[in-house]
Structures are given as structure tokens and as C-alpha cells.
Amino acid sequence: MFKQLFKNNPLKAEMNFFDHLEELRWHIIRSLAAIVVAGIICFIKIHFIYERIIMGPTRHDFITYRILCGIGHRLGLGDRLCLPDAPVKFQSMQLSGQFMQAFSSSFTFAFIIAAPYILYEFWRFVKPALKPGELKYTRGVVFWTSLLFFMGVAFGYFMIAPYTVNFFASYQLSESIENIITIQSYMSTLSQLVMGCGALFELPVLVYFLAKVGILTSAFLKKYRRHAFVIILVIAAFISPPDVASQFIVTLPLYLLFEVSISIAKRMEKQRAEEDAAEWS
């Protein structure tokens, strides 16, 4: 399998199965080392990270709340974009809960920080399998993949997380029930939103490679464009307050991401057609 993968590189192709596994192992070890180093630094600064970053969406003066509220006032929408205060009370149910949460949170942040290097190591392993003609279409792949990931993380943290936290923290099933949330539950929700958005924003990269090998086409994406729009609307309605302006703010970036993916698929189809024409000429 590995010889087939690296058939374009004679030196790599001569390596046996275990040699490839050994090389892959060292790529993984270096990636894990980067995460450990970043995790130690984050653990040293964990109090600052929790107070300034993790707890940010729970405070009424969070930058997203202030900016959206200001935009609403300038557009004459009044307080429609202003989220109401939703004071959140946290608790830790275990003796070692806060320490373990600090430990796990440090390495969650470490993974985000080390993401470009992890992608770089993965790219170093895969790169020899590509033909010289294919490499020219992958220039800057680590940069663009990292950029999209960080854009997704930022979108999840600054846009989706505040709406989600505010909604669930202020939701009242009964006046006799008080929301006292465990810090583990809050951090789990926050990390899932942020990491999920980071992965979601990699859609153009995924479409690029799938279109490159002919698995995905722009016609297929166009065919299910309406279905994708409905799914995006459902997601936006779930994580944002029930008003049109807020849902539009969440829906627009996600839908633009889908349209960018269609454009990428079109471009790759054009390139494949030109390559096929050159081979037959």
C-alpha cells in the first residue's frame, strides 16, 4: 500500500512497509511533542486563559456582545442584536475537578495552537506521493488549511459560542429550577463548538481534494444547494436567538463557505479537463 502511495518518489517507493510506518511514527511523535510543549505553556498560563478567554462568552462585556449591540443601534434596530445578561453559575463536582479541567483545557488549547505544525508534519508525509504536476496545485496548502482552521475556531468562539451560552444559560424550564452548570459541561460544549467550526471551515480543502480525484463535482453540490441551505438555516436557528438579524449573521458565513466550495470544485474540474486534453494532444 505504501509503495503504491509513494510510487512517484523512487527513494520512498524502495522503502518497505515497516520503514513507512517508522517514518509515520516520527511524524506523529513530533506532532505530539509540539502539543506537549504548547500544553505546558498553556498550563502555566491557565488562570489567564480561563479568566480572559474561556469565561469570555459568559460575561456581558464580551467583545461580540458589545460589537453586535453597537451595530444594531447604528442600523436602527434598537436592542435586537443586544443579548440580555445571562449570569452563569459554575460548580465543580469532584475534588480534583478543577485541576483536571485545567489540565485538559491546556491541551485543548495546545492542539489549536499547534495545528499548523501538525498539518505541516502530515503534509511532509503525504507530499512525496504527489506527482510534480500535482505539487504546483498544492502550494501553500499548509498555510491555507491552517488559516481556514483558525477562521473556523474564531467564528465558533466569537459568533456561535456567545449565542449558544446565552441561550442555554437563560433558558428557564421552571422558576423553581436554577441553572448551576458544571465547569466540565461548559468547557465540553465550548470546545465542541470551537473545534467543530474549525473542522467545518476545512470544507473547501476537502472539496478541493475530492474534486481533484473526481469523487465530488460542482454539479452535485449545485444539485443539493437548497438542501445545504436548509441545513444551515436549521443550525443557525438552533444556535442563535429567534430573530432574523441574528440568524442572518450566523447563516451568511456558513453559506458563503458552501458557495466557495462550489467554485473550488468548478476550478478543479477545469484543471482536470485541461490536463486530459493535454494528454490526448
pLDDT: is 124 or 115 the higher one?
115
Assess whether pLDDT exceeds 90 at residue 117. yes
Question: For the chain, what percent of residues have pLDDT higher than 70?
Answer: 84
Residue 51 vs residues 54, 168, 228, 279: alpha-carbon distances, Å: 6, 20, 37, 60
Q: If you write DSSP's letter for every residue of 170-238 in order, what string do you get?
A: H--S-TT---EEEHHHHHHHHHHHHHHHHHHTTHHHHHHHHHHTTSS-HHHHHHTHHHHHHHHHHHHHH
**Amino acid, res. 156:** G
Assess whether pLDDT exceeds 60 at residue 276. yes
Parse the chain into domains and list their residue ranges.
Answer: 2-183, 202-281
pLDDT at 111: 95
Segment 261-264 long-range contacts (CB within 8 Å, at least 24 positions apart): 261/203, 261/204, 261/207, 261/221, 262/218, 262/221, 262/222, 262/225, 264/204, 264/207, 264/208, 264/211
Per-residue confidence band for 134, with pLDDT thresholds at 50, 70 and 90:
low
Task: Please write the tens of the pLDDT for every residue from 232-246.
Answer: 888 777 666 565 666
Assess whether pLDDT exceeds 50 at residue 2. no
Asked if residue 272 lies in contact with residue 212, where contact means CB atoms within 8 angstroms, the answer is yes
Query: E strands within the chain?
Result: 89-91, 180-182
pLDDT at 30: 94
Average pLDDT over residues 163-167: 81
Task: Please write the tens of the pLDDT for every residue from 86-103.
Answer: 677 888 888 888 999 999
pLDDT at 176: 83
Q: What is the dihedral of CA 185, 189, 190, 192, to 10 degrees?
A: 140
Per-residue confidence band for 18, with pLDDT thresholds at 50, 70 and 90:
low
pLDDT at 23: 81
Assess whether pLDDT exceeds 60 at residue 278. yes
pLDDT at 120: 92
Assess whether pLDDT exceeds 60 at residue 109. yes
Assess whether pLDDT exceeds 60 at residue 80. yes
Q: What is the pTM of this model?
A: 0.80
Asked if residue 153 lies in contact with residue 198, where contact means CB atoms within 8 angstroms, the answer is yes
Q: Which three cell numbers mark 47?
A: 488562570
Average pLDDT over residues 76-82: 74
Assess whether pLDDT exceeds 60 at residue 11. no
Average pLDDT over residues 67-74: 83
Give 91's strand partners.
182
pLDDT at 59: 84
The per-residue pLDDT of the chain, averaged, comes to 82
Assess whether pLDDT exceeds 80 at residue 132. no
